[in-house]
Amino acid sequence: MSEPTHPLVPQPCTLVIFGGSGDLARRKLIPAVYNLLLDGILPPNYAILGNGRTPLSDADFRQTAREAIAKYSRQKISEKVWPDFERRLFFVAGSLQDPKAYKALRQRLEQIETDLKLPGNRIFYLAIPPTSIADAVEGLRSAGLVQPPSSEGPFSRVIVEKPIGRDLDSARKINEAVSRVFDESQIFRIDHYLGKETVQNLLVLRFANSIFEPIWNYKFIDHVQITVAEAEGVGTRATYYEEAGTLRDMVQNHMLQLLCLVAMEPPTDLGADSIRDEKVKVVRSLRRYAPQQVGTYVVRGQYTAGAVSGKPVVGYREEEKVNPNSETETYVALRMLVDNWRWSDVPIYVRVGKRLPKSATEISVHFKRAPMVLFNRDSTALDQNVLVIRIQPDEGISLRMMAKIPGTSLRIEPVKMDFHYGTSFGKASPEAYERLLLDAMSGDPTLFARRDEVEEAWAFIDPIEHAWSQKENAPPLSFYPAGSWGPEEADELLANDGRTWRRL
Ligand SMILES: NC(=O)c1ccc[n+]([C@@H]2O[C@H](COP(=O)([O-])OP(=O)(O)OC[C@H]3O[C@@H](n4cnc5c(N)ncnc54)[C@H](OP(=O)(O)O)[C@@H]3O)[C@@H](O)[C@H]2O)c1
Per DSSP, 155 falls in state -
Query: pLDDT tens-digit profile of 419-445?
Result: 998 888 877 778 899 999 999 999 999
**Mind spelling out the 3-state secondary structure of 105-142?**
HHHHHHHHHHHCCCCCCEEEEECCCHHHHHHHHHHHHH
Q: What span, in angstroms and rounded, lies between the C-alpha atoms of 229 and 4?
A: 33
% of the chain with per-residue pLDDT over 70:
98
pLDDT of residue 3: 54
- CA 428 – ligand 1 centroid, Å: 28
Q: Whole-prediction pTM value? A: 0.94
- Give the closest residue (by CA) to ligand 1 atom 35: 52
**Separation of 26 CA from ligand 1 center, angstroms?**
10
Mean pLDDT of 20-36: 96
Report helix, strand or coil for 84: helix
Domain boundaries, given as residue ranges, for the chain: 13-161, 195-495
Long-range CB pairs of 167-173 (<8 Å, 24+ gap) are 167/458, 167/461, 167/462, 167/465, 168/455, 168/458, 168/459, 168/462, 170/130, 171/454, 171/455, 171/458, 172/455, 173/134
Ligand 1 neighbourhood includes 72 CB (under 6 angstroms): no
The CA distance from 296 to 172, in Å, is 29
H or E, element range at 158? strand 156-160
Q: Is 73 in the pocket of ligand 1 (CB under 6 A)?
A: no
pLDDT at 1: 56
What is the overall mean pLDDT for the chain?
Answer: 94
The 10s digit of each residue's pLDDT in 138-180 is 999 999 999 999 878 899 999 999 999 999 999 999 999 999 9
User: Nearest C-alpha to atom 34 of ligand 1 is from which residue?
Assistant: 52
**Using CA positions, which residue lies closest to atom 21 of ligand 1?**
22
Pairing of strands 348-353, 331-336: antiparallel
What contacts 477, CB < 8 A, 6 or more positions away?
300, 301, 302, 327, 329
Say if residue 299's pLDDT is above 60.
yes
Which run of H or of E encompasses 387?
strand 386-392
Best CATH choice for the domain 195-495 from the list 2.60.40.10, 3.30.360.10, 3.40.50.1980, 2.40.128.20: 3.30.360.10
Q: Residues with catalytic annotation?
A: 254
**Closest ligand 1 atom to Cα of 26:** 16
pLDDT at 429: 77
Preceding amide of 371 cis, omega within 30: no
Nearest CA to ligand 1 atom 3: 24
What kind of fold does domain 13-161 have according to CATH? Rossmann fold (3.40.50)
Query: What is the number of the ligand 1 atom nearest to the C-alpha of 21?
Result: 43
**Cis peptide bond prior to 43, omega within 30° of 0:** no
pLDDT of residue 424: 84
Testing ligand 1's pocket by substitution, the residue of 16, 24, 232, 437 carrying the most ligand atoms inside 8 A of its CB is 24
Residue type, position 288, single letter: R
Centre of ligand 1 to C-alpha 161, Å, is 10
Question: Please, what is the Cα angle at 97 between 94 and 102, to 5 degrees?
Answer: 50
pLDDT given at position 75:
92
Provide CB contacts within 8 A for 345, sequence distance 6+: 218, 337
Across the range 76-98, mean pLDDT stands at: 96
The response to whether residue 127 sits with its C-beta less than 6 Å from ligand 1 reads yes
Q: Cβ(11)–Cβ(443) under 8 Å?
A: yes
Compute, in angstroms, the gap from residue 126 CA to the centroid of ligand 1.
8
At residue 371, the pLDDT reads: 85
